[in-house]
């Protein structure tokens, strides 16, 4: 089965690409001592957090390794699990480590203009992008090389390992970043009238650390997981349908084609003469989709695959760009919905939030239709396998999307460093422009991640039914109904803990900032330095403390339902959990992004601009939106996949169910 070697080779190529990108960006100059000092503080905080998080993860992982060992083929499952977890953690760790070094280099290159700074940030982002797909493909290919086809289901261990890390990274990073951000904004902007990233704000370093551990490490692990899990799901479906080994190879070939397409499209991810950052990003994404489609046609034709396979892949590729566009339509700067929310801010914070929630609720319909069409296209062109293939098609763009996404926190940090180092106006103008673009890409790639999670979870659901040997899950069976109710319930409870954690930690942060402003004399005139480390510590401790319960909910609920009510009920749980989590995640992400951009719209001078009552109202809306869009919403992605993979993983024990 030589195709494993192809995908292994492409995976290694991708890792090499990532290394070269890392080397190139690290060679760039770092700027002044002041800049280095700030960058170092952010770096130290980020690393410290990730290492402390690792300890919590280790406890969970050890328990799980022991539990898995008791399942059939337990040791092989353990190897797969550990491989998945390590690959995911390496992606997150490596990506973040390069990001915290790319930020200051982006600031420095901003001196030479927007196109230089853009390239530096993109290069830094591509390290995460290509590391993720590289680790994913290499890990899976190696496992496949050692497994016989009859044991393909053990790959779910790899998927579960990736999911577990992703859940930690998303939940912990999400709580951290928003506790710091909300805390910094509530006192800084509303009470003290300080601008964003002002060095006099004691929470400013914590805020920048949060960008890295949340948007960078969290997002990296999340998308890595979607990528890994989607490939695993499609391979499981193929194995379940007893397809030939050539058909079985198709998802791996499509994934490899996606990596090549992403590499080639890096050439388009630059600002040409008279170009803008946004147009460069769109060019890059379009190029990767077109190149991928061409390669995919070639693979389908040369490999004598049914044309329906290619149609499924194309459906997935188009879904990626459609969801991108939809998210931009509802949440992009200056869009109708954003203006509507800013207009509502004239009536006060209350109407701003009401309208922001309304827009978020509304924004979900087009993505749902798009995913539904994707599912139907996949199914009608290539049966159940088509759903898996469509998901692989969409996720084959991961390297490009993740590159663009990691661009966000790098430019965000670059702006912060420029502000804190008091760099000249023209440099800050460049970093501000890129920061604005980064905000939009963060929202749109979040749409990609959420849509990808929904599609891959649907594929996992098919794989689940195979794994537990169900040929139907009848919603008229009251046991299934009960499972569905509990499945719909899961995202509500899960996100309630995250929202509460942010609310609580942000309040502590507010009190700490107020305390420092009150007790450290000269802090507001810039004569005394705030105690940044204390704020970093509050975010770290609270994020880690609040991790445990949501993790347990995601892991224990499916096990409990499976053992108490049996596999029919567990199937029902997935039936309810997947769409409910998908929609809640979209609602939360889009509400938050819209309220964020509504605030920016006011800050751009509309309805009274900065400092006006309308601005104050819009800042409250942004604060409410923060944990929705950066904590609860994205974490639901990871929850969907942890619950799905653990349901498949533990399929063998659900025969012992009570009912």
Place of tokens 């379009």: 286
507 near its own copies, rule: CB under 8 A? yes
371 near its own copies, rule: CB under 8 A? yes
513 near its own copies, rule: CB under 8 A? no
Q: How far is the CB of 212 from its own copies (least distance, A)?
A: 23
Which of these segments, 8-16, 125-133, 373-381, 391-399, binds its own copies (CB under 8 A)?
373-381
Q: CA-CA distance, 314 to 647, in Å (whole number)?
A: 29
Residue closer to its own copies (CB basis): 40 or 477: 477
Place of tokens 């990596």: 259
CA distance readout (Å), 50 to 43, 62, 95, 97, 478: 11, 18, 12, 10, 44
Residue closer to its own copies (CB basis): 245 or 496: 496
Residue closer to its own copies (CB basis): 116 or 189: 189
213 secondary structure, DSSP code: I
Residue closer to its own copies (CB basis): 268 or 587: 587
Q: How far is the CB of 196 from its own copies (least distance, A)?
A: 16
Count of C-beta atoms within a 10 Å radius of residue 612: 17
The gap from C-alpha 324 to its chain's centroid, in whole angstroms, comes to: 14
Contact string (CB under 8 A) for its own copies, positions 573-602, x = contact: --xx--xx-xx---x---------------
Q: DSSP string spanning 346-376? A: TT-HHHHHHHHHHHHHHHTHHHHHHHHHHHH
- Pick from 229, 387, 639, 643: which binds its own copies (CB under 8 A)? 387
- Pick from 368, 548, 604, 657: which binds its own copies (CB under 8 A)? 368
**Do 454 and 578 contact (CB within 8 A), yes or no?**
yes
Alpha helices in 273-397 (DSSP H): 277-302, 307-331, 336-345, 349-363, 365-395
Residue list 178-207, contact with its own copies (CB under 8 A): 182, 186, 190
- Pick from 59, 372, 556, 560: which binds its own copies (CB under 8 A)? 372
Per residue, the 3-state secondary structure of 536-559, as one string, reads HHHHHHHHHHHHHHHHHHHHHHHH
Q: Which two tokens stand for residue 242?
A: 């007893």
Cβ-based neighbours of 131, under 8 Å, separated by 6 or more:
14, 15, 18, 90, 91, 94, 95, 220
362 near its own copies, rule: CB under 8 A? yes
Residue list 297-316, contact with its own copies (CB under 8 A): none
Q: How far is the CB of 552 from its own copies (least distance, A)?
A: 14
Q: How far is the CB of 374 from its own copies (least distance, A)?
A: 10
Place of tokens 């300890």: 55
Which of these segments, 12-20, 35-43, 301-309, 356-364, binds its own copies (CB under 8 A)?
356-364
Residue list 53-92, contact with its own copies (CB under 8 A): none
**Of the candidates 113, 104, 132, the residue with the CA atom closest to the CA atom of residue 38:** 104
Contact string (CB under 8 A) for its own copies, positions 403-432, x = contact: ------------------------------
Residue list 322-341, contact with its own copies (CB under 8 A): none
The maximal CA–CA distance of the chain, rounded, in angstroms, is: 75
**Of the candidates 492, 486, 546, 558, the residue with the CA atom closest to the CA atom of residue 170:** 546
Q: CA-CA distance, 569 to 575, in Å (whole number)?
A: 10
Residue closer to its own copies (CB basis): 132 or 480: 480
Residue closer to its own copies (CB basis): 137 or 364: 364
Q: Which two tokens stand for residue 490?
A: 């899961």
Which of these segments, 37-45, 46-54, 237-245, 374-382, binds its own copies (CB under 8 A)?
374-382
Cα dihedral 365/368/369/374 (nearest 10): 160
Q: DSSP string spanning 143-207? A: HHHHS-GGGGGGGHHHHHHHHHHHHHHHHHHHHHHHHHHHHHHIIIIIIS-PPTT-TTSTTHHHH
354 near its own copies, rule: CB under 8 A? yes
Residue list 532-551, contact with its own copies (CB under 8 A): none
Residue list 606-625, contact with its own copies (CB under 8 A): 619-620, 623-624
Q: How far is the CB of 331 from its own copies (least distance, A)?
A: 14
Which of these segments, 10-18, 112-120, 310-318, 368-376, binds its own copies (CB under 8 A)?
368-376
**Of the candidates 126, 137, 125, the residue with the CA atom closest to the CA atom of residue 162:** 137
Q: How far is the CB of 590 from its own copies (least distance, A)?
A: 11
Q: How many residues does the chain have?
A: 659
**Do 121 and 417 contact (CB within 8 A), yes or no?**
no
Alpha helices in 74-113 (DSSP H): 74-109
Q: How far is the CB of 599 from its own copies (least distance, A)?
A: 11
167 near its own copies, rule: CB under 8 A? no
Residue closer to its own copies (CB basis): 256 or 343: 343
- Pick from 141, 247, 342, 343: which binds its own copies (CB under 8 A)? 343
**Do 585 and 552 contact (CB within 8 A), yes or no?**
no
Q: How far is the CB of 471 from its own copies (least distance, A)?
A: 7
**Of the candidates 103, 129, 91, 138, the residue with the CA atom closest to the CA atom of residue 445:** 129
**Do 172 and 53 contact (CB within 8 A), yes or no?**
yes
Which of these segments, 27-35, 289-297, 437-445, 570-578, binds its own copies (CB under 8 A)?
570-578
Which of these segments, 100-108, 247-255, 328-336, 569-577, binds its own copies (CB under 8 A)?
569-577
Residue closer to its own copies (CB basis): 259 or 355: 355
**Do 413 and 42 contact (CB within 8 A), yes or no?**
yes
Residue closer to its own copies (CB basis): 113 or 478: 478
Q: CA-CA distance, 106 to 415, in Å (whole number)?
A: 9
Residue closer to its own copies (CB basis): 45 or 579: 579
Residue list 439-498, contact with its own copies (CB under 8 A): 458, 461-462, 465, 470-476, 478, 480-482, 484-489, 492-493, 495-497
Residue closer to its own copies (CB basis): 5 or 365: 365
Residue list 239-278, contact with its own copies (CB under 8 A): none
- Pick from 221, 355, 395, 523: which binds its own copies (CB under 8 A)? 355
Residue closer to its own copies (CB basis): 436 or 621: 621
User: Rounded to the nearest 5°, which phi and psi values hold at 200?
Assistant: -75, -15
Q: How far is the CB of 551 from its own copies (least distance, A)?
A: 17
- Pick from 17, 93, 309, 379: which binds its own copies (CB under 8 A)? 379
Residue closer to its own copies (CB basis): 284 or 452: 452
130 near its own copies, rule: CB under 8 A? no
The gap from C-alpha 636 to its chain's centroid, in whole angstroms, comes to: 10
Residue closer to its own copies (CB basis): 278 or 477: 477
């Amino acid at each position: 089965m030589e195709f494993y070697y192809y995908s292994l080779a492409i995976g290694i190529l991708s890792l090499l690409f990532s290394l070269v990108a890392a080397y190139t960006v690290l060679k760039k100059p770092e700027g002044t001592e002041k800049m280095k000092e700030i960058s170092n503080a952010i770096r130290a905080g980020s690393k410290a957090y990730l290492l402390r998080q690792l300890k919590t993860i280790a406890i969970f992982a050890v328990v799980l390794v022991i539990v898995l060992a008791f399942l059939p083929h337990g040791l092989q499952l353990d190897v797969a699990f550990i491989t998945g977890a390590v690959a995911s953690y390496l992606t997150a760790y490596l990506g973040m480590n390069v990001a915290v070094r790319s930020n200051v280099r982006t600031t420095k290159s901003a001196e030479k203009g927007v196109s230089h700074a853009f390239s530096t940030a993109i290069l830094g982002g591509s390290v995460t992008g290509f590391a993720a797909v590289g680790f994913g493909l290499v890990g899976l290919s190696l496992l496949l090389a050692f497994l016989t086809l009859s044991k393909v289901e053990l790959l779910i261990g790899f998927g579960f390992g990736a999911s577990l890390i992703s859940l930690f990274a998303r939940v912990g990073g999400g709580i951290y970043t928003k506790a710091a951000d909300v805390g910094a904004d509530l006192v800084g902007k509303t009470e003290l009238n300080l601008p964003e990233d002002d060095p006099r704000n004691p929470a400013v370093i914590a805020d920048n650390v949060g960008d890295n551990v949340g948007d960078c490490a969290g997002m990296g692990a999340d998308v890595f997981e979607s990528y890994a899990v989607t490939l695993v799901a499609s391979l499981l479906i193929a194995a379940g349908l007893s397809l030939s080994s050539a058909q079985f190879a198709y998802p791996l070939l499509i994934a490899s084609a996606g990596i090549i397409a992403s590499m080639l499209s890096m050439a388009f991810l630059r600002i040409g003469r008279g170009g803008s950052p946004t147009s460069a990003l769109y060019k890059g994404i379009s190029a990767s989709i077109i190149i991928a489609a061409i390669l995919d046609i070639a693979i389908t034709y040369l490999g004598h695959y049914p044309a329906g396979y290619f149609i499924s892949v194309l459906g997935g590729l188009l879904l990626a760009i459609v969801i991108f566009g939809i998210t931009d339509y509802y949440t992009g700067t200056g869009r109708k919905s954003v203006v509507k929310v800013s207009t509502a801010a004239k009536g006060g914070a209350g109407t701003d939030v009401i309208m922001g929630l309304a827009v978020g609720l509304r924004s979900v319909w087009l993505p749902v239709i798009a995913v539904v069409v994707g599912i139907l296209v996949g199914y009608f062109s290539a049966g159940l396998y088509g759903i898996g293939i469509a998901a692989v098609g969409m996720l084959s763009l991961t390297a490009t999307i993740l590159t663009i996404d990691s661009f966000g926190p790098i430019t965000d940090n670059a702006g912060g460093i420029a502000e804190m180092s008091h760099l000249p106006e023209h440099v800050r103008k460049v970093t501000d422009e890129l920061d604005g673009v980064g905000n939009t890409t963060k929202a749109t790639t979040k749409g990609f991640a959420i849509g990808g999670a929904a599609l891959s979870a649907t594929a996992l659901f098919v794989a689940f039914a195979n794994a537990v040997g169900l040929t139907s899950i009848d919603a008229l069976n009251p046991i299934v109904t009960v499972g569905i109710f509990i499945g719909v319930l899961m995202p509500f409870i899960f996100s309630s803990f995250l929202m509460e954690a942010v609310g609580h930690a942000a309040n502590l942060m507010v009190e700490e900032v107020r305390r420092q402003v009150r007790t450290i004399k000269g802090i507001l005139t810039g004569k005394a330095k705030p105690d940044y480390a204390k704020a970093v510590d509050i975010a770290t401790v609270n994020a880690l403390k609040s991790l445990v319960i949501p993790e347990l909910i995601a892991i224990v609920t499916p096990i409990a339902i499976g053992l108490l009510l049996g596999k029919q009920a567990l199937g029902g749980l997935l039936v309810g959990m997947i769409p409910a989590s998908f929609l809640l995640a979209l609602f939360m992400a889009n509400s938050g992004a819209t309220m964020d951009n509504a605030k920016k719209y006011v800050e751009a001078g509309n309805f009274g601009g900065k400092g006006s009552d309308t601005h104050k109202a819009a800042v409250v809306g942004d604060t409410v939106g923060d944990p929705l869009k950066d904590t609860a919403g994205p974490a639901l992605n990871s929850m969907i996949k942890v619950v799905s993979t653990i349901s498949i993983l533990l399929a063998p024990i659900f025969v012992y169910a009570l009912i």
